[in-house]
Amino acid sequence: MSSVLQALNQGLHAAFEADDRVVLIGEDLLDPYGGAFKVSRGLSSKYPQRVMTSPVSEAGIVGVAGGMALRGLRPVVEIMFGDFSTLIADQMINGLSKFQGMYNGQAQVPVVVRTPMGGRRGYGPTHSQTLEKLYLGVPGLRTLAANTLSDPGALLKAAILEDDGPVLFVENKLLYAKPVLDAETLKDFEVEVQAIDAGYAPTHLLKLKGSPTPALTLAAYGYMAELGREALLRLAFEHEIFCELVVPNQLAPLASQGRLEEALADSLGRTGRLLTIEEGTFSLGWGAEIAARAAHQLGGQLRATNRVAAAEEPIPASIALEAKALPDVDDILAAARAMV
Amino acid sequence: MRAPEDLYREMSRIRHFEETVLDAFPSGVFYGTTHTYLGQEANAVAVLSQRAAGDIVFSNHRCHGHFIAYGGDMRALFAELMGKPTGVCGGKGGSQHLHWKDFYSNGVLGSTAPVATGAALAEKAKGSGAATVIFLGDGALGQGVLYESLNMAALWGAPILFVLEDNAIAQTTPRELALAGDIQARFEAFGIQSTALNSSDVEEIGSAAEPLLGAVRAGEGPRALVVQTVRFGPHSKGDDTRDAHKMAKLRAARDPLEILGARLKADERIKIEAAAKAEVQEAFAQAQKDPEAV
Ligand SMILES: Cc1ncc(C[n+]2csc(CCOP(=O)(O)OP(=O)(O)O)c2C)c(N)n1
Ligand SMILES: [Mg+2]
């Protein structure tokens, strides 16, 4: 079983192998270091001309990638910490994600900006955040989040090779060491796979085999889907609350016309209850949007909805304080039990 | 360099285009905003008359002159300002956001610098031999990402010419209230060789640009051209805060069309003027007849 880190690294290698228009720009990329989280390892040795280790210029390298993409290359940018996605906001929002639309479809911008997000490693307030919600809803920008249910390397490769628009590719740091799940590990689950608007990024729907009518839909992405799976099992075995878990790889755009994606709509049709789980801060986030769509689409059939998310404070460096600020399995269990 | 008559024709086309824009704006045919290139025509024409096929141009909010000097269609530009489907970008970009062939503009000051640098690096990687030219105003010198870009352009030998049009003002803020230090020294600090001149003479600016473009094409890395110039009109529309008397004197002394026109035969000059004016009027009339967006 390969880890998420290995899978991502293989995905990058595969993209480089498949298409020599693929280039990589970022800080500290050169071997043997291979990037701060080692996702880019081996590339600079194998493709020295196509890997540009860069100055500490986040906005600049994203703009450079945008210009390269306008001229026919397929650049990948590594932003060392997702917290620094703030620094690239102008290039992402007023540049890359607008070029296709404002130039009236006459330009393509195949850029993937990869970045690790998330806490629980004691890195403190500016190296632990989950900030992708700031980018959700930006027209022209796709935001993807890796998880262990689908091969993150295949997803990354597809984003690099098949997507002609800009992609923000989010990798939760704790996922790197996790195994990409195989059929054996998931043998207790029934797994359905769909995709938002028939795109390339799968959404997984998990339910325990042979379980009675489910009472609650959990929706989670990235590393929070790991906690969601654990919570699902504990709710079933310790509390006899049966849940389904919906895990999208694509956070934005959501399904067209303000609708829920099908996996969620199907599940909520069975459960009527929605609990969203995310590591970003509580207010105005991904979960809020999902809940609003659910309320609109299900009307009176939606019996309950709630969100589990991070506290609205700078993420403390202390292990104990950080654990309190970030959502964990106990928070999910408590929220779920209060809803059923 | 191109013949003086050709340079004059290009400047005259821009001049008439921009005068038409400012004159017609109050009538309501256009929508949104505009920044005219009046007084600065020599810069775009001097540099872009030396463009080769496949060369790339990045421009800013004050992009009409760059676009026309690049060979852009005036009817399509009028139509873009009118928000029509026949516009350069179907009316979606408006005055500041144009893309046609290898020409790109964006209204966020300085944000184009890394994108242009990336475009130049892509052409270098492809071995196309294309040069990239980016036009920036003195106001863009306040943007941090510009310096990130100069650093990377020099570091990675990007085939790009930075053209800094220093008209000594950014919207209403005079240069001395916004800029410390020296402009040329900014480029030189990154090892980017540059030429600076204070001129509205298209031939003089063209001569300064020629070796810089030559070096860029020869793969010697980025170069910079710093031109002190004069913005004749308002920043946008009716928003000129400068001393009217001083401006009148500058307009008299620094008109690129007068400077080059004095070197042409009088009847030749009149003929070129009349043809440029007719061409602009025709383009404007056609754009007005174009269908509205639905
Ligand atoms: C990042 C950014 N900030 C502010 C503005 C608003 N703005 C438009 S033009 C301008 C002044 C530009 O001055 P300069 O770069 O010298 O160009 P000029 O107008 O003189 O040609 C300003 C402040 C902008 N377009 N982009
Ligand atoms: Mg200026």
Per-residue pLDDT at A233: 97
CA A31 to chain centre: 26
Backbone angle region of A38, left / alpha / beta, with phi > 0 → left and psi within -120 to 50 → alpha: left
Q: What is the CA radius of gyration of chain A?
A: 20
pLDDT higher than 90, residue A1: no
Q: What is the ipTM of this complex?
A: 0.97
> What is the rounded distance in angstroms from the CA atom of residue B189 to the CA atom of residue B193?
9
Contact between B113 and A101 using a beta-carbon 8 Å cutoff: no
Residue-wise over B124-137: b if at least 16 C-beta within 10 A, else e?
Answer: bbeeeebbbbbbbb
Contact A316, A325 (CB under 8 A): yes
In three-state secondary structure terms, A155 is helix
Among chain A residues, the shortest Cα distance to B158 is held by A64
Per-residue pLDDT at B1: 74
pLDDT higher than 90, residue B84: yes
Residue with tokens 């608007």, as numbered in its chain: A197
Q: Which residues have CB atoms below 5 A from the ion given as ligand 2?
A: B 137-139, 167, 170
Contact between B111 and A90 using a beta-carbon 8 Å cutoff: yes
Question: Would you place residue A270 in the very low, low, confident or very high pLDDT band (cuts 50, 70, 90)?
Answer: very high
Among chain A residues, the shortest Cα distance to B111 is held by A91
How far away, in angstroms, is B109 Cα from ligand 1 center?
A: 6
Distance from CA of B208 to the nearest CA of A (A): 27
Residue type for A184, please? E
User: A72 contacts in B (CB within 8 Å)?
Assistant: 122, 126
Contact B141, B179 (CB under 8 A): yes
Residue-wise over A209-221: b if at least 16 C-beta within 10 A, else e?
Answer: eebeebbbbbbbb
Backbone angle region of B210, left / alpha / beta, with phi > 0 → left and psi within -120 to 50 → alpha: alpha
Report all structural domains of chain B as residue ranges with CATH numbers, in order of start. 4-289 (3.40.50.970)
Residue with tokens 């849940």, as numbered in its chain: A243
Instruction: Using the atom order of ligand 1, give the atom closest to the CA of residue B167.
Output: 20
> What is the rounded distance in angstroms from the CA atom of residue A332 to the CA atom of residue A338?
10
Contact between A71 and B90 using a beta-carbon 8 Å cutoff: no
Contact A260, A292 (CB under 8 A): no
Establish whether domains A4-175 and A189-339 are of one fold. yes
Most ligand 1 atoms within 8 A of CB, residue of B61, B141, B231, B241 to mutate: B61
The per-residue pLDDT for range B16-27, each reduced to its tens digit, is 999 999 999 999
Contact A254, A220 (CB under 8 A): no
How far away, in angstroms, is B175 Cα from ligand 2 center?
A: 8
Contact B273, B14 (CB under 8 A): no
**Residue list, ligand 1 pocket, CB within 6 Å:** B 35, 61-62, 107-109, 137-140, 167, 169-171, 231, 235
How far away, in angstroms, is B168 Cα from ligand 2 center?
A: 5
Contact B161, B47 (CB under 8 A): yes
Distance from CA of B130 to the nearest CA of A (A): 11
Per-residue pLDDT at B154: 98
Contact between B114 and A91 using a beta-carbon 8 Å cutoff: yes
CA B236 to chain centre: 15
HSE value, Cβ hemisphere, 13 Å, CA-based, for A209: 6
Contact between B148 and A103 using a beta-carbon 8 Å cutoff: no
Distance from CA of A111 to the nearest CA of B (A): 12
% of chain B exceeding 90 in pLDDT: 99
User: A65 contacts in B (CB within 8 Å)?
Assistant: 118
> What is the rounded distance in angstroms from the CA atom of residue B215 to the CA atom of residue B222?
8
Contact between B115 and A23 using a beta-carbon 8 Å cutoff: no
Name the residue among B120, B122, B149 with its Cβ closest to that of A72: B122
CATH 3.40.50.300 fits domain A4-175: no
Distance from CA of B104 to the nearest CA of A (A): 9
**Does the global pTM surpass 0.95?**
yes
Alpha-carbon dihedral sign for residues A132, A71, B208, B270: negative
CATH 3.40.50.920 fits domain A189-339: yes
User: A102 contacts in B (CB within 8 Å)?
Assistant: 89, 92-93, 97
Angle of helix B4-24 relative to helix B41-48, nearest 10 degrees, comes to: 140
Per-residue pLDDT at B204: 98
The per-residue pLDDT for range A85-142, each reduced to its tens digit, is 999 999 999 999 999 999 999 999 999 999 999 999 999 999 999 999 999 999 999 9
The ranges assigned to domains in chain A are 4-175, 189-339
The per-residue pLDDT for range B163-208, each reduced to its tens digit, is 999 999 999 999 999 999 999 999 999 999 999 999 999 999 999 9
Long-range contacts of the stretch B268-277 (C-beta < 8 A, 24+): B268/B5, B269/B8, B272/B5, B272/B8, B272/B9, B272/B12, B273/B12, B275/B9, B276/B9, B276/B12, B276/B13, B276/B15, B276/B16, B277/B12, B277/B16
Average pLDDT over chain B reads 97
